[in-house]
C-alpha cells in the first residue's frame, strides 16, 4: 500500500518546477546583498533563571526558529537547530544559547522535517544530555525519528492534542511542504504548535509557534480556537516573492497573520541565522517595523528579541483587549 502524501488546506501546492528553481538560483547569485547587519546578542542572558525556573512562563529565542519555552515547570524546545551550516552557507550568527547552557529539556516539538527546522545531529546531542527526552512531531515523521534512535516519539495530526503535565500541546495547520530526500516529498506533514496551559497552571493564555508557513486562512481558524498571548511568527526567506509566496510569508503578511490569529504579542523568527533566500535580516526587520507602524499597532506588542534573550511570562498576564486593526 503506498504511503500517504500530505496536503495543505484547500489543496494549495508547491508547484515549482526544476526550471523555476534554476531561475531562482540565478537571481540569487546575480543580486548583491549587504549582509553586514547581524542580529544582536543579549548581553544579560538569564541562564540561572532558566536553569532553576519551575514556575514562571518564559520564551527564549535561541536563533532562527529555535526557542526554549518554559511552562508549568516543563522545559520545551521548539525546532532546535544548532547546525553550523545550512547547505553550502555558514551560519551567520551563533546560537543565543548553546546546548551545554540549556536547562534539563523535557520535550522537543518539531514543526516539519526541513533541515533548518529538524537537524538530526542537534537532536541526537540533546538526547545524550536528556535521556528521557520526548519528541512531539507531525504525522508521518515518527518512523524516521524512531529509526534514528529516538524511542519516545508521539505523532499528531492537524488539530490533534496531547496532555503534557500542566499543559496541552495542540498541533495546528500551516501552509508549507516537506522533503529531505528525492523520494519523500510530503510524506510527513507540517504545521505549528499551540502551547495551552491548563486553568490554574500559571498563565492562562497560549503560546502559538507557527513553524514555517505561507500566508493562509488557517491563521484565522487558529485565532478562533485559542486565546493566544504570544505568537512566534516567521518573517524571513520570502524573496523572490514569485517563488516563495506559497511557503513563506513576507513581513507584511506576517503582520496580517498576527492580526488574524488575534494574539496579544508578536515575536518574529525565521531570520538572521541562515541564508535561505534572497532577502537579508535587516530588510525583513525594516519591512516588519514599517508595516507595524503603518497599521498603527502598539509598539509594546512587538518584541524584537535579541539572540539568547528571555521574554518573561508577565507579558502573558496582560489582559488588555487587542487593539482594533
Instruction: Give the pLDDT confidence score for residue 3 in this predicted structure.
Output: 74
Q: Within a domain: residue 9?
A: no
Domain count, the chain: 1
Give the three-state DSSP class for 310.
strand
Which of these, 170, 142, 139, 173, lies nearest to 8 by C-alpha position? 173
pLDDT at residue 284 greater than cutoff 50: yes
Q: How many CA atoms lie within 13 A of 199 on its CB side?
A: 0
Instruction: Give the pLDDT confidence score for residue 2 in this predicted structure.
Output: 55
Instruction: Give the pLDDT confidence score for residue 1 in this predicted structure.
Output: 41
Q: Distance between CA 304 and CA 302 in Å, rounded?
A: 7
Q: Within a domain: residue 19?
A: no
Q: Within a domain: residue 2?
A: no
pTM over 0.75: yes
Where does residue 80 rank: exposed (0-12), middle (13-18), buried (19+ CB within 10 A)?
Answer: buried
Q: Within a domain: residue 54?
A: yes
Q: Within a domain: residue 16?
A: no
Give the other-Cβ count within 10 Å of 269's Cβ.
Answer: 26
Q: Give the CATH number, domain containing residue 219.
A: 3.60.15.10
Q: Within a domain: residue 12?
A: no
For 204, list phi and psi in degrees, rounded to 5.
-85, -15
pLDDT at residue 20 greater than cutoff 90: no
Q: Within a domain: residue 167?
A: yes
What is the pLDDT confidence band of residue 203, given thresholds at 50, 70 and 90? low
pLDDT in tens, 254-283: 999 999 999 999 999 999 999 999 999 999
Instruction: Give the pLDDT confidence score for residue 126 in this predicted structure.
Output: 97
Domain hosting residue 296, numbered range: 47-309
pLDDT in tens, 22-41: 888 888 777 788 999 999 99
Q: Within a domain: residue 20?
A: no
Amino acid at each position: 500500500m503506498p504511503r500517504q502524501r500530505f496536503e495543505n488546506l484547500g489543496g494549495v501546492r508547491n508547484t515549482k518546477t526544476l526550471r523555476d528553481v534554476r531561475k531562482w538560483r540565478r537571481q540569487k547569485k546575480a543580486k548583491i546583498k549587504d549582509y553586514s547587519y547581524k542580529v544582536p546578542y543579549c548581553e544579560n542572558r538569564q541562564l540561572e533563571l532558566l536553569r532553576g525556573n519551575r514556575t514562571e512562563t518564559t520564551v527564549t529565542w535561541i536563533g532562527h526558529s529555535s526557542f526554549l519555552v518554559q511552562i508549568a515547570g516543563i522545559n520545551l524546545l521548539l525546532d532546535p537547530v544548532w547546525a553550523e551550516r545550512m547547505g553550502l552557507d555558514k551560519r551567520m550568527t551563533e546560537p543565543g544559547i548553546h546546548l551545554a547552557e540549556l536547562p534539563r529539556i523535557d520535550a522537543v516539538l518539531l514543526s516539519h522535517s526541513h533541515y533548518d527546522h529538524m537537524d538530526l545531529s542537534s537532536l541526537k546531542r540533546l538526547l545524550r544530555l536528556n535521556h528521557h527526552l520526548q519528541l512531539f512531531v507531525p504525522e508521518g515523521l515518527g518512523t524516521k525519528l524512531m529509526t534514528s534512535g529516538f524511542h519516545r516519539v508521539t505523532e499528531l495530526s492537524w488539530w490533534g492534542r496531547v496532555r503534557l503535565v500542566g499543559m496541552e500541546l495542540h498541533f495546528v495547520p500551516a501552509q508549507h511542504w516537506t522533503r529531505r530526500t528525492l523520494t519523500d516529498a510530503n510524506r510527513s506533514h507540517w504545521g505549528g504548535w499551540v502551547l495551552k496551559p491548563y486553568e490554574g497552571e500559571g498563565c492562562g493564555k497560549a503560546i502559538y509557534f507557527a513553524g514555517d508557513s505561507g500566508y493562509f486562512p488557517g491563521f484565522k481558524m487558529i485565532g478562533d480556537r485559542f486565546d493566544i498571548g504570544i505568537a512566534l511568527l516567521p518573517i524571513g526567506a520570502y524573496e523572490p516573492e514569485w517563488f516563495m509566496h506559497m511557503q513563506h510569508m513576507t513581513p507584511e503578511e506576517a503582520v496580517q497573520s498576527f492580526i488574524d490569529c488575534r494574539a496579544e504579542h508578536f515575536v518574529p523568527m525565521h531570520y538572521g541565522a541562515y541564508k535561505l533566500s534572497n532577502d537579508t535580516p535587516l530588510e525583513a526587520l525594516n519591512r516588519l517595523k514599517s508595516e507595524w507602524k503603518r497599521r498603527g499597532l502598539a509598539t509594546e506588542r512587538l518584541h524584537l528579541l535579541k539572540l539568547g534573550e528571555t521574554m518573561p511570562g508577565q507579558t502573558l498576564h496582560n489582559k488588555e483587549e487587542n487593539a482594533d486593526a
